[in-house]
Structure 1
């Protein structure tokens, strides 16, 4: 009789243990959070923007001044890392200062007081995105024009900057330019009326998502 009772007791204990184990929550592996990867940004397309900054006339006595204006440009991205483009801008300024006297060797004529009410540029751009598709490091150079001493002068400009796409259609930039307006400015009383100057400016650009460029910007 004892063997029978013992077997029944063992069977009951096993059944109770199995039922208790069935009631326990299942031990599943913790889910792995998906990795969020931002899509690569494409710089291809038309854009327009505004900028503001300051400048300084080179040489002579200068108090410098501020500048501000607008721009329009177009970029084309070549592969994942290179960007070429064309940009034109126009700025009003308060740059003014005294001119240069005659240099000791007499190689450069004297300059009277200089002012630069406005200037504009048409520049080619070449940039690289490098470590982040949303950060563009670029150089720029090309044609420049402006009013110096009451006359229109022409010349050239060169510089560079960095631009950051902080939103799908918006970017911010910091840029430096050296500009030399030395042609067609004329002279008054033997004094040259050209000007060369430095500008540093910050700006924001809006990138247009045109239908013909939508596939290229994705």
Structure 2
């Protein structure tokens, strides 16, 4: 009888220990990655320029093209909550419209300074972001380079994405950023001493993937 009771006690102890060990592994897994720190990275993807020349007509035009960006930021983790700040600088090749009967506008460069808030689920972090956006656009009135107007504009950028810590230092992400620059005046000069100002509503959409190194 005593051997049976002893065996039963051992089995219960082993089972309890195994359950406790499983619990520890799960807890350690949930906290296995620390998102706090400085990071720098580069991204590539697709940029869409959407605009409406309110002086010319009421139609909105859009076109997409390649976009590349470099970015840097800092995260601070508090439990599952990750708060941070990020800055980026991008180049985009979108140009609209492609019809030579209309004034052509194209993207030059863009930048943003945004806050980020994410939820740390181990080495995966979905996040939201938003902040200030700045960009440069240029219009070609005659579509031949003889009457151009360049404008640097400000607005806001909002978006979100998901980031994966592939290693302790390598961060991979996919994200979408929407930027709205409002309505801005482009001053063309069709003749000597004359001015032709077009009011243009500008927006961009960026869908990109990036890789960063966390220090």
Q: Which residue of 1 aligns with 2:203?
A: 196
1:112 and 1:194 map into 2 onto residues whose CA distance is 14
Counterpart Cα distance in 2 of 1:161 and 1:192:
33
Secondary structure of 2:122 counterpart? coil
Q: 1:38-187 counterparts in 2 under 5 A?
A: 38=29, 40-59=32-51, 60-78=60-78, 80-98=79-97, 112-129=103-120, 132-149=121-138, 150-182=150-182, 185-187=184-186
C-alpha distance in structure 2 between counterparts of 1:47 and 1:95, whole Å: 28
Distance 1:155 1:194 in 2: 11
RMSD (Å), alpha carbons: 2.4
Give the Cα–Cα distance (whole angstroms) in 1 for the partners of residues 97 and 91 of structure 2: 19
Partner of 2:57: none
Partners of 2:50 and 2:89 in 1: CA distance? 20
Q: How many residues align?
A: 163
How do 1:3-14 and structure 2 match up within 5 A?
none
SS of corresponding position for 2:71: strand
C-alpha contact 2:50 2:63 (8 A) present in aligned 1: no
* Cα displacement string for residues 5-26 of structure 1 (whole angstroms, at most 9, x for unaligned residues): xxxxxxxxxxxxxxxxxxxxxx
Q: Give me the TM-score of the superposition, normalised by structure 2.
A: 0.69
Partner of 1:65, secondary structure, is: strand
* Contact 2:151–2:186 under 8 Å retained in 1: no
Does the 8 A contact of 1:114 with 1:193 survive in 2? Answer: no
Structure 2 distance, partners of 1:156, 1:205, is 24
Larger Rg: 1
What TM-score do the two structures reach when normalised by structure 1?
0.68
Distance (Å, rounded) in 1 between the aligned partners of 2:71 and 2:155: 19
Instruction: Note the residue ranges of structure 2 that are not aligned, 5 or more in a row.
Output: 1-20, 52-59, 139-149, 188-195
Deviant stretches of 4+, over 2 Å: 34-39, 58-63, 185-190
